[in-house]
Structure 1
Amino acid sequence: MSQATFLNRQALYLRPDPARVVVRPFGPTAQPRDLNPTEKTRANHVVDRVLSLAPETAASLMAEVLENFQGRHRHLLETFEARADDMEDAFASHSLFTRVQRQLVGAFFMHEYSFEAAALFNPSIVTHPDQTGAPEGGRRFILSLRAVGEGHVSSLTFRSGTIAADGSVAVDPSARLASIPKVRSRTPGPDGDVVELVFPPDEDISERVIFPVTESQSNGIEDARFVEFDEGGRRVFYATYTAYSGRAIRSELIETTDFVSFRMTPLRGSASHNKGMALFPRRIDGRYAMISRQDNENLYLITSDDLHTWDGGVPVLKPQFPWEFMQMGNCGAPIELDEGWLLLTHGVGPVRKYSIGAALLDKADPSKVLARSREPLVRPEPSEREGYVPNVVYTCGAMRLHDRIILPYAVSDTFSNFATIKIAALLGTMEG
Structure 2
Amino acid sequence: MTTLTPILTKYWDRPDSFTRSAYEADGGYRALRTALGTPQDDIIQAVKDSGLRGRGGAGFPTGMKWGFIPQGDGKPHYLVVNADESEPGTCKDIPLMMANPHALVEGVIISSYAIRANFAVIYVRGEVLHVIRRLQQAVAEAYEAGYIGTDILGSGYDLELVVHSGAGAYICGEETALLDSLEGFRGQPRLKPPFPAVAGLYGGPTVINNVESIASVPSIVANGADWFASMGTEKSKGFGIFSLSGHVTRPGQYEAPLGITLRELLDMAGGIRAGHRLKFWTPGGSSTPIFTDEHLDVPLDFESVGAAGSMLGTRALQIFDETVCVVRAVLRWSEFYAHESCGKCTPCREGTYWYKQMLKRLEAGQGTEEDLETLLDLSDNILGRSFCALGDGATSPVTSSIKHFREEYIRHFETGACPFDEAASTVWAGEK
Is TM > 0.5 for Structure 1 vs Structure 2? no
User: Which TM class, normalised by the smaller chain length?
Assistant: under 0.3
Alignment TM-score, normalising by the size of structure 2:
0.26
**TM-score, normalization: structure 1?**
0.26
Comparing both chains, which one has the higher relative contact order based on Cα–Cα distances under 8 Å and sequence gaps of 6 or more?
A: 2
